[in-house]
Structures are given as C-alpha cells and as structure tokens.
Amino acid sequence: MNMLRRALLLAPLASPALAQPMFSRPIRIVIPVVAGGAVDAAVRTISPRISEELGQPVVLDNRPGGAGVLAAEIVARSAPDGHTLLLGTVGVMAVNPTLFSRAPVHPLRDFALVGKLVEVTNLLGVPSDRPFSTVPQLVAALKAAPGRLSYGSAGIGAAGHLAGALLDHLAGTEAVHIPYRGGGQLITDLISGKIDYAFATAATVLPHVESGRLRALAVPTEKRSRLLPQVPSMAEAGVAGYAINNWYGLAAPKGTSGAVIAAVNRACRVALEDTANVEKLAHHALEPSPSTPEEFAAFVPAEIARYAAVIRAAGITGE
C-alpha cells in the first residue's frame, strides 16, 4: 500500500479527535472582589467577546474575601484546562506576595500568566465640605492632626490602601486606614464624611465630583491620566516620587497548556481592541493595556518587587 493511499485511509479515523474543541464547557472567571466595581466592569465589558472568540459562555464568579486569597486559591486548585481563570488585581498578583508571605498560593508559583488586560485610573477624592481642596492643603491638615484623619480603601493591600500609605511615607504624615470589602460602601462613607479621603477608581468618584459632593484632588500616578487630563498627578501636586499604578490581568492554574493560554490571550486581545468595548471601558475609567503571556510573565515579577519596596517603606503589615 503506497503512502498516499495509507494516509487517505487513516485520515477519517484521526479527524474526530483532531476536531475536538479546545473548550468544551462554560469558562468561569473568578473575580476576587464584590460585584459592581471597576474590576467587575472590566471583565463584564469584554467577556461577551471572549465568549464569542472561544465558543463557550463565560461565567463570572465573584468570590471576595481574604484580600483576594480566597479567589486565587479556588483557581489555583482547579483543573489546568483553561475552563477556570482568575481576574487578577494588582493586589492579588503584585501586593499579596509581600503582604501575605504565608498565603497558600503565589502568583508566580501557582499560576500560568495569561496577560495584562487594563489599567485603572484612580482618583484622590475628598468630601466637598472638607477644608482642603488641594493636595498641599490635605497634607497640611494631616500634619496638623496626626492620627486623626482617615482614608478608606477596598481592603488591606488594595491599590487605595497602598496609595494612602505611600502618601504618609513620602509626606511624613499619619492617617488611619479604614478597609472596606468593596468600592460601594467606601464611596457612600466618603460622601457622608465618615472618612476624610480615599484613593478610589475614577468611575466611582467622578459622578459625585460632578454633583458637587466630592472633590478630585489628584491622580496617584507619575503623570496625568489620558482619560482625565485636567486632574494633576500627585507629583505635580507636590509629592515627589509618588506613583501607584492600578491594573488587572488574567491568570490560569499552573500547568495549563501553552496552546490554551495562547487561545485565551488572543480572545482577550480581540475583545480589548473592539471599538465598542474601548468606549465602554473608558466610561469606567479603564484603558486597554493588553500584553502577551511572555510580557505579562516579565511584568508581574517586576511589579512584585516594586510594591514590595512600597510596602516595606510604608511599614504596611498584613499578617
């Protein structure tokens, strides 16, 4: 039997296996925070297109708790087949390795990194009835009353927590940190004056700035945000060396195949390049910032090192 005839005879036997889809059931994305905030908005915006690209429904599973450790552990212990993924915040992926060194999971040990998704624009907001309308005035108020003013964040180790701690460290001030389980109650208490300021997502702060209930003093980054060019950066406002970046990315359980990682990454990139999605993300003060798996694998360790320096300099403890 010649080689060509043999190949033709064997082809029908091989084709069913080759035709099996990479994803055979709904894909679950575990989100480490309560529903309703910027993290939720990011993944809910792009998940329909990801579903379309991968040929399966995408189910979003909010699992807040333990500074994101609960959600991370759920995904790390899941089958490495691409059907369970983690929406990794900067807190879970870059802060927790230092803040919770004895946590049962580690982003570099227990996950295959899929890619970066978006960067988040945060704002330093204060109640409109407070006697400070600029960062220097806030710093002066903090220095005049050490340990008496308070700021809130979405939890221990969240970007807003680090932002407040870094301000204390660089400006030589002392404030009380109030952790919340999510952004909703944080903003409610900020508006009512139960806390004095907060570094929160621009999407949650801006509507109340526009209504006159809050003031936006600065963005907690080195440069102004492209989405909010009218708001100064912390460095421009007089706090030299200040920079806290907020981002979200996607991770899969360790051992997930390169082919699956590449397929999910490609679906995410397509979703993030969709014009309608870009507009929706901008409404939530989110900027697409896709990366390859290789770029994300280099980015996360660098972020861990960067935030370790911030955490140690600010004296933050989580254990």
**Domain 25-119+245-314 is of which CATH architecture?**
3-Layer(aba) Sandwich (3.40)
Q: Is 230 helix (H, G, I), strand (E, B) or coil?
A: coil
* Structural fold of domain 122-218: D-Maltodextrin-Binding Protein; domain 2 (3.40.190)
CB neighbour list of residue 124: distance below 8 Å, 6 or more residues apart: 135, 138, 163, 197, 198, 199, 216, 217, 218, 219, 220, 234
- What's the pLDDT score for residue 194? 96
- What's the pLDDT score for residue 16? 43
Q: What integer is the mean pLDDT of 64-87?
A: 94
CA 293 to chain centre: 17
Whether residue 115 contacts residue 296, with contact meaning beta carbons closer than 8 Å, is answered with yes
Could you read off the pLDDT of 181-215 as tens digits, one per residue? 777 789 999 999 999 999 998 888 989 999 999 99
Could you read off the pLDDT of 38-66 as tens digits, one per residue? 888 899 999 999 999 999 999 999 998 88
Q: What integer is the mean pLDDT of 286-298?
A: 96
Matching residue, tokens 């389980």: 181
Report d(CA 31, CA 75) in Å as an integer: 10
- What's the pLDDT score for residue 222? 81
Predicted model pTM: 0.84
Burial of 12 (0-12, 13-18, 19+ CB in 10 A): exposed
- What's the pLDDT score for residue 245? 85
Report d(CA 217, CA 132) in Å as an integer: 9
Question: Mean pLDDT for the chain?
Answer: 89
Burial of 66 (0-12, 13-18, 19+ CB in 10 A): middle
Domain boundaries, the chain: 25-119+245-314, 122-218
Whether residue 88 contacts residue 247, with contact meaning beta carbons closer than 8 Å, is answered with no
- What's the pLDDT score for residue 46? 97
- What's the pLDDT score for residue 79? 97
- What's the pLDDT score for residue 20? 54
- What's the pLDDT score for residue 319? 58
